[in-house]
Chain A
Amino acid sequence: MKIPVTVIGGYLGAGKTTLINHMLRSANGLRLAILVNEFGDLAIDQDLIEAQNDGVMAISGGCVCCAYGNDMIGALEDMRDATPAFDHILIEASGVALPASIMTTVGMVYGLRPDATIVLADVEQIRKNARHKFLHDTILAQLEQADLLLLTKTDLVDASVVEDVKDWLSTVAPIARSLPIANGEIALEALIGAIPFAQRRPMENVTHKSVFDSIVITPDHNIDPQALGEAFANDPTITRAKGFVQTATGTALIHVVGSRYAFDLLDDHHSLGVVCIGIKGEFDPSNAEKHMRHAERTDA
């Protein structure tokens, strides 16, 4: 199976490093490879680092951080070929990089699957940055290219400010789904998606103490993966969905992030089931089940 790759973008100070530390701390058995431009600006919490040499930092729990410098493709290939295999690769984009360009490259590296583009926006700074004399168009392009927008540092401002910024984001980045977070803390599954029946990880961790709700749906019939993906992607209350369904021609891995979806037809067999994740209060599991029923293809 191809290794999923997530790009994490956003301008300096948006909270990328805090988020990366949080992900490493909550990886809980998942093997994550995190690619960064350079280590200098990445203040990985010291207690997480097990060893460091030659541009690769070993993190407790089987994760690594890797500095790619000017050879991102080479670093991606190294991570792809590592044994034991990584569950997920994350790329920290530089502050002015356009994440969609990085995703294009990822899509051309054999054995990798572009998963999600996540862009961080500091709730206090983002509108100012979007008016910056030199950066305005770059910042807006980054926001536009996001599947998920993480609105960071929301604990530092009034709720009304968060709502204002969310409203503004919905006009400049209509495709993206905005998720407010505080202290860089967000359930890992909302960022990288969760496979139900995880190999090394129990499911109940997904939503405990978080702002997310989730449901695992196991389809009884063959599914049209395109119809299902489209339905999930068009439902604004579903942040993430991922899992295996049976199609007329075999098993498919379907993955939905924000309003984008994709599916891969697989040669091998997997236990069927799809995890859907959404924000508590907005997310209605019965809607997700309804989408699944509509995508059933009993005739096939």
Chain B
Amino acid sequence: MAAGSLDELATWGAFTLDERFADKVIMPGLIEGHAHSMEGALWSFTYVGWFDRMDPDGKIWSGVKTVDDVVDRMSQIKKTMNDPNEPLLGWGLDPIYMDNVRVTRHDLDRVSATRPIGILHASGHILNVNTKGLELAGLLKPGQNHPGIPLGDDGLPNGELKSPEITMPAGKHVGMDRAFLAADAEGLRNYGRLCVRAGVTTSSDLGQQLNDDLVGLFETVTGQADYPVCLVAFCINLGKSPAELVDYTASLKDRSTQRLELGKIKVIADGSIQGFSARLQWPGYYNGAPNGLWYIAPDQMADIYQRALAAGVQVHTHTNGDEATQLAIETLEGALRKHPDFDHRFTLQHCQLASEAQFRKMGRLGMCVNLFANHHFYWGDEHFALTVGPERAERMNACRTALDQGVPMTIHSDAPVTPLGPLFTAGAAASRRTASGRVQGEHQRISVKEALYAVTMGAAITMKMDDQIGSIEIGKRADFAVLYDDPTEADPDTLKEVRVWGTVQGGRIFEAATI
């Protein structure tokens, strides 16, 4: 209702003083501007990543450091399974931290030779399967001739599968089936619990192939009295024509509630940098890989932008490579000539390689940006050595330039690609430290204060929700992150160590330890 000193607030009338957070630090609730509620569902499968990671129950799964560790953990889980044919799926594997060791089907056969087993890499682009998995996918035969199916010395696939056209059909046999890909109530609830543990009171779910059934599921789950977070469910541009997409999304706006924000569109323009499927401008990939893939035709993007501007629907566009960013900028500029809008806040998501000229143009067009700051830590060394080379690695996710060019900015985890944790993400943007400990791009660092603003007000602005959330202010939702430590006293490298007690969302109190 109001913020201020006790004396100021007492003038509102009778009150009860609640001092439970007297020894805590309260800041505006943290806002994750680009994540996927699938992070909540993934914990039904086995985590085998390099870094320690917390599940929705608060259990910390220790990072696995060797292939033997991977095999051990999968074997432990196997012992708890009754059906001998049920697939066993692991996720989060990141061999770049294990000297790029190749995991083969023979390694996974040590877990089981008869049960299909798969492990999805942290990048999401590589899937390891065991011999049984290869057999079920119809791949256990010589003569395979596809760059996504590397062969072993015996001429048979070694079990490592790359690129979606291979991993998607093969994944079906190791547990990545329709149910795995679909949102479900338990996954949404688990995602809410992860948010509390990270101090998050509002998170995007970017995005979903929304229809009435799925919107109904979101309404039911977020409508439960103890659901702890506001989800911003974007409608993705798959399976709908531009006209259907804009009309349907516009029709959802009125169904928004305190814990479910609807009426925004997500468009995917290209792929990812670490998967070499992002669209790059000249000179392209550092290692000489061919340019990436378009996931939308320029004419379709223009159609969506024009219709969305006319209907007053906001669009967030995934552009990883700078060529995709350029297409989005030019397309929006053209659409704005037809449908001028003085506060559209169309936002580029990831926008990892944008140049200063592109940020300048974005600022002048009224665009916002959500940069993938966690990449500095998780893949920064990889980008430096392999994908884009030193110069572009040092200006990737250029937070400093974005702010200097007047582009409203937030930063994100893209959970489950990297773990949900805006304080970690803020630290990554402030320090730009890679996993190997180097500071990559000193000139693009931002201050701790700017980083904290980015994960609160910055995110609220990019989602056009800054009238409701993002700051502790009269008239706004009572959304707080409750912390044990003061983040404003942290330095860029220690921000990630700030401990979260829990959250207050819409005036309701959620303690991480008991959620």
- Which residue numbers of A lie inside 8 Å of B, CB to CB? 11-12, 37-41, 67-71, 73-74, 94-96, 98, 101-102, 104-105, 108-110, 132, 134-135, 137-138
Contacts and interface: CB of A to CB of B under 8 A. Distances in A.
A67 B327 CA distance: 27
Contact of A135 (B181, B294, B326): B294
A12 B300 contact: yes
Contact of B297 (A11, A71, A102): A11
B361 to A, nearest CB: 16
13 contacts: A12-B300, A40-B241, A40-B242, A70-B239, A74-B178, A96-B294, A104-B165, A105-B168, A108-B139, A108-B169, A134-B323, A134-B326, A138-B293
A141 to B, nearest CB: 9
Nearest to A100: B165
Contact of B137 (A67, A101, A108): A108
Interface in B34-58: none
Nearest to B172: A73
B297 A108 contact: no
Given A40-B242, A95-B300, A134-B327, A105 B294 contact: no
A71 B243 CA distance: 21
A108 B166 contact: yes
B169 A109 contact: yes
Interface in B128-155: 137-139, 146, 148
Interface in B221-245: 236, 238-244
Interface in B243-280: 243-244, 279
B332 to A, nearest CB: 14
Contacts of A95: 297, 299-300
Contacts of A70: 181, 209, 236, 238-239
B181 A71 contact: yes
Nearest to B245: A40
A137 B239 contact: no
Interface string B287-303: 00011011111111000
A11 B294 CA distance: 12
B170 interface: yes
Contact of B166 (A96, A98, A104, A135): A104
B297 A94 contact: yes
A67 B298 CA distance: 21
Contacts of A69: 209, 238-240
A101 B294 contact: no
B169 A37 contact: no
Nearest to A102: B165
A105 B167 CA distance: 9
A107 to B, nearest CB: 8
A39 B290 CA distance: 32
Contact of A12 (B148, B291, B299): B299
Given A12-B299, A98-B293, A108-B139, A38 B240 contact: yes
A77 B159 CA distance: 24
A94 to B, nearest CB: 7
A96 B169 contact: no
Contacts of B165: 101-102, 104-105
A67 B172 contact: no
Contacts of B293: 96, 98, 138
Contacts of B209: 69-70
Nearest to A77: B172
Contacts of B297: 11-12, 94-96, 135
B502 to A, nearest CB: 35
Chain B CB within 10 Å — which of A37, A109, A134 has the most? Answer: A134
Contacts of B168: 73, 105
Given A71-B181, A108-B137, A110-B138, A134 B239 contact: no
A70 B235 CA distance: 13
Contacts of B146: 104
B294 A134 contact: yes
B238 A108 contact: no
Contacts of A98: 293
A181 to B, nearest CB: 22
Nearest to B170: A108
B299 A40 contact: no
